[in-house]
Amino acid sequence: MTLPDADTARGLLRHMLRIRAFEDACAELYSASKIRGFMHLYNGEEAIAAGIVPLLAPADAIVATYREHGHALVRGVDMGAVMAEMVGKQEGCSRGRGGSMHLFDATARLYGGNAIVAGGLPLAVGLALADALQQRAQVSACFFGEGAAAEGAFHESLNLASLWRLPVLFVCENNLYAMGTALARSQAETDVHLRARSYGLASTAVDGMDLLAVREAAQVAIDHVRGGHGPYLLECHTYRFRAHSMFDSQLYRDKAEVERWRARDPIDLFEREAVNLGLLDADTRVAVQAQVDAEVRAAIDFAEAGTWEPVEQLTRDVTTDSPA
């Protein structure tokens, strides 16, 4: 395994702490009715975004699901703009119109946030096709849950990507439950990465709670795609610590299962390993957490001081005046 240097290790820890602190704050704001609509949190899955997104080039594209806050933050979308989007202010990255499930930032090449299960896969294929036609050595990374593997768009997208040898990195964030349905209760083949091989894709699975393992597997996958060898599917086995969404009572899984997975918290695992390897000092997390907490507080203040979009602008980007 190629280990990161000390500065990189600190940055990786910071990415995960930023995601966790941001989302914990979002949960509080949601409970206070300051965030409305649907919201899906990434707690427990931080090692995937933190392990993969920093390895992508600035020109590479990212497509995600409705559980995309972490991807946006690691990609470099301003935390204040993300928080403003969460509370519906026009200073948000989608002008407050998308909310939690539709974060978008063209300058960061973050093309959603997609509320439709498997809806991002065809979009990633289209972005990759454009790159291929323009002969650009870029990668389109598509993040999705294991529930998407039951959708037709999953199979169609993998088939076309393989047929045309498109530069797509498919990343399955397999957290075992598609909303409230366990994977084994709905899909005969529970190893998602094996399905990719039926379409001729290279693929592998990795422990999604182990940041260094995710990072190593992702580098292999990205090099494969960028090298012109066709698409690749990386399946990350992970677990969400919170409910599917804020409206989920979680009656489909017991508390003992959740606690078993919490014992493998990716932030704790990485911190211990990095300290043991001499990449981080024992007190690094405390210092980084203080910086992150200040950033989150500033993001909340920015969002709450933001402005609502004027009613007169509600048709902006939605309708156009018909020619006379």
pLDDT digits (tens, 9 = 90+) for 110-163: 998 999 999 999 999 999 999 999 999 999 999 999 999 999 999 999 999 999
CATH code of the domain containing 298: 3.40.50.970
The percent helix, strand, coil of the chain (3-state, each to 5) is 50, 10, 40
Amino acid 48: pLDDT: 98
The total number of structural domains in the chain stands at 1
Amino acid 324: pLDDT: 56
Give one DSSP letter per residue of 268-289, joined into a string.
HHHHHHHHHTTSS-TTHHHHHH
Amino acid 247: pLDDT: 81
Specify if 312 maps to a domain. Answer: no
Beta-sheet pairing, 181-182 with 177-178: antiparallel
Specify if 37 maps to a domain. Answer: yes
Above pLDDT 70, what percent of the chain? 99
Amino acid 180: pLDDT: 84
Give one DSSP letter per residue of 203-259, joined into a string.
EEEEETT-HHHHHHHHHHHHHHHHTTS--EEEEEE---SS-SSTT---TTS-HHHHH
Amino acid 1: pLDDT: 74
For 93, the domain range is 6-304
Distance from the first to the final alpha carbon of the chain = 65
Amino acid 251: pLDDT: 82
95-109, 160-174, 195-209, 244-258: least confident range: 244-258
Distance CA 21, CA 289 (A): 9
Specify if 288 maps to a domain. Answer: yes
**CA distances in angstroms from 88 to 42, 73, 245, 276, listed in the order given:** 20, 18, 18, 43
In terms of Cα–Cα distance, which of 83, 110, 98 is closest to 28?
83
Residue 55 tokens, joined: 């390895």
Specify if 311 maps to a domain. Answer: no
Specify if 207 maps to a domain. Answer: yes
Amino acid 167: pLDDT: 98
Specify if 320 maps to a domain. Answer: no
Above pLDDT 90, what percent of the chain? 85
Beta-sheet pairing, 232-237 with 202-207: parallel
Question: What's the rounded mean pLDDT across residues 251-279?
Answer: 94
Specify if 314 maps to a domain. Answer: no
Amino acid 316: pLDDT: 86
Amino acid 185: pLDDT: 87
Question: What's the rounded mean pLDDT across residues 13-39?
Answer: 96
Specify if 294 maps to a domain. Answer: yes
**pLDDT tens, residue by residue, 216-250:** 999 999 999 999 999 999 999 999 998 888 888 88
Amino acid 10: pLDDT: 98
Q: Which residues contact 65 (CB under 8 A, 6 or more apart)?
A: 40, 113, 114, 117, 120, 143, 144, 145, 148, 173
